[in-house]
Amino acid sequence: MALRLASIVEALGGEFHGDADLQIERLAPLESATPQELSFLSHPKYQSQLKASRAGCVIVAPLMRELALARGPCIVVDQPYLYFAHVTQLWKQRHPGPVRPRIHSSAVIDPDALVDPQASVGALCVVERGARVGAFTTIMSRVTIGEGCTVGERCLIHPGVVIGADGFGFAPNAGAWEKIEQLGAVRIGNDVEIGANTCIDRGALQDTVIGDGVKLDNLIQIGHNVQVGAHTAMAGCVGVAGSAVIGAHCTIGGGAIVLGHLTLADHVNISAASVVTRSIAKPGHYTGMFPIDDNAAWEKNAATLKQLHSLRERIRVLESTRGKPEEQA
């Protein structure tokens, strides 16, 4: 079912230029959009794609207004990417999928679990004893919510997520490992989205806590007793080791690692593939990685890095015997 451009602007606002009766059949990227599709320009560096785009209408920022008008119909807004997000929400509202049972017949829900009447549970899910699922939360297929864990309202949990498996806790005993029973749970706030096959371990003693509005991508590992502050977002394959505390409004790039027992302040941004080895007390953008290179060159550079400590000590000795360069000057 197509949407008239006028109905989109009426619902979401924006400065519109063009044919209000144009029927939009799909949302699409700039480079592949057709005259029946709506797209957006989120960054000026892609303006060459805007010039060449065949999209029926493009959402742009005021800075791109004249360029967009020269091309054709457009909607001018202060935040094109956010506006496009709202368009996707509107599109889904106007194109609902087939009606499904609130609780799939194959789901297993313990009699002592509490699932709000306005929540939905998909196929082959397991909700264990004492677990609680809040209103308007959607649990998709093959999700497991462990014993005593709680999920807030309006959450979206994608297929394969495991909430409340045991954390990785073992004590050494005469060359073997003795299991430390994980006695805590997992508490997830409201408006949280958790991507496919992400695992959130239950706490050893205290609960693992995921704050309101947190967004977790696919294949993320959250260790036991971790605390994640409100509205923090993590990209795919991030690993957070046990007892780390991550502040609110942080972002952690794909493949990054946060070591255990560290604390990250609010508004900390970690680059992809970084390894966070120390606590970070100040907001900002942090990167910790070794740049990719030809393997032979990388090995030589890595070997040099291993010598930095001894080189530093040699320099200290030289400075102490000859005087520092600034002293000589």
Nearest to 74 by CA among 87, 62, 52, 57: 57
Catalytic entry in 95, 104, 158, 224:
224
- For residue 254 the two structure tokens come to 């794909």
Structure tokens at 172: 């050494």
As given in the structure block, the two tokens for residue 161 are 């997520």
Give the chain as a 3 state SS string: CCEEHHHHHHHHCCEEECCCCCEECEECCCCCCCCCEEEECCCHHHHHHHHHCCCCEEEECHHHHHHHHHHCCEEECCCHHHHHHHHHHHHHHHCCCCCCCCECCCCEECCCCEECCCCEECCCCEECCCCEECCCCEECCCCEECCCCEECCCCEECCCCEEEECCCCEEEECCEEEECCCCCCEEECCCCEECCCCEEECCCCCCEEECCCCEECCCCEECCCCEECCCCEECCCCEECCCCEECCCCEECCCCEECCCCEECCCEEECCCCEECCCECCCEEECCCCCCCCHHHHHHHHHHHHCHHHHHHHHHHHHHHHCCHHHHC
Tokens 């390894």, residue? 275
Active site residue 267: no
The backbone torsions φ and ψ at residue 77, rounded to the nearest 5 degrees and listed phi first, read -140, 160
List residues with catalytic annotation: 224
